Amino acid sequence: MKKVVIAIDGPAGAGKSTVAKIISQKLNINYIDSGAMYRAITYKVLQKKIDITDENKIIEISRNSDIDFEDNNIYLDGKIVNEEIRDLSVSSLVSNIAQIKEVREVMVSLQRKMGEKYSVIMDGRDIGSYVFPNADYKFFLTASVKERAYRRYIELKSKGYEVTIDEIIKDIENRDKIDSQREFAPLIKADDAIEINTSGKSIDDVVSKILEYIK
């Protein structure tokens, strides 16, 4: 198979990461969760107790962090942070940090390097519209806020997080708003992306639909 770049974008909780992971296994290519990169920086900012209005300090942190993926684990400065970055404390701040242009420039440059080196399926908000405008395949997944919140709730609960559905709805609405209104590389469907509404569809349905386009 020639080198491919597959972009999967959409709002929070639309099922992007679950679907992208399965497709990466089926096609035997790398899966990159670009949201995890913004989460890792946010986690570090919280750990270091940095004032979240101190943009210069946050930019400095993003430039001096080592973020890497291996075997579906995310490494921050050499340590696996898969679980820590899913905490609601990170979720509720990540969009504020992800709207800082200089932070995005650091992450986008890393993402592009990954896409140049090997075949990837990458999920996020701006992968098809900004990071890889020439991606081989672009998909944009959507679902109602209620369904997205419910899925996230089940996922977090199964991992042992203490959350309520109301907290998740608030988090999703808040992030969607900031992500789609930010100035630099906002959440947007690329003109040439295939939109799939995942409401009421099973994971298998969505995976099959995407694979139909790719094969």
Q: Using CB under 6 A as the criterion, which residues of the chain lie in contact with ligand C5P when the complex forms?
A: 12, 34-35, 38-39, 94-95, 98, 124-127, 175, 179
CB nearer ligand C5P, residue 82 or residue 215: 82
CA atoms of 210 and 75, how far apart (whole Å): 29
10 annotated ligand binder: yes
Closer to ligand C5P by Cβ: residue 34 or 198: 34
Nearer to ligand C5P, 14 or 215 (CB): 14
Q: Are residues 112 and 124 in contact, defined by beta-carbon separation less than 8 angstroms?
A: no
User: Distance (Å, rounded) from C-alpha 33 to C-alpha 185?
Assistant: 17
| Sheet containing strand 194-197, strands side by side | 30-33, 120-124, 5-9, 137-142, 194-197
Chain Cα centroid distance, residue 132: 14
By the 10 Å C-beta count (0-12 exposed, 13-18 middle, 19+ buried), 20 is classed as buried
Q: What whole-number distance in Å separates Cα of residue 101 and Cα of residue 111?
A: 15
11 labelled binding-site residue = yes
**Residue 78 counted as an annotated binding residue:** no
Question: What is the closest distance, in whole angstroms, from the C-beta atom of residue 128 to ligand C5P in the complex?
Answer: 10
Closest separation between CB of residue 171 and ligand C5P, Å? 9
Residue 13 CB contacts under 8 Å (≥ 6 apart), including other chains = 143, 148, 149, 151, 152, 168, 172
* φ/ψ of residue 132, rounded to 5: -130, 75
Q: How far is the CB of 127 from ligand C5P (least distance, A)?
A: 6
**In this complex, which beta carbon is closest to ligand C5P, that of residue 1 or of residue 47?**
47
Find out whether 200 is annotated in a ligand binding site. no
**Closest separation in Å from C-beta 215 to ligand C5P:** 26
Was 44 annotated as part of a binding site? no
Output 12 or 206, the one with its CB closest to ligand C5P: 12
12 assigned binding-site residue: yes
Binding-site residue ranges for ATP: 10-18
Binding-site residue ranges: 10-18
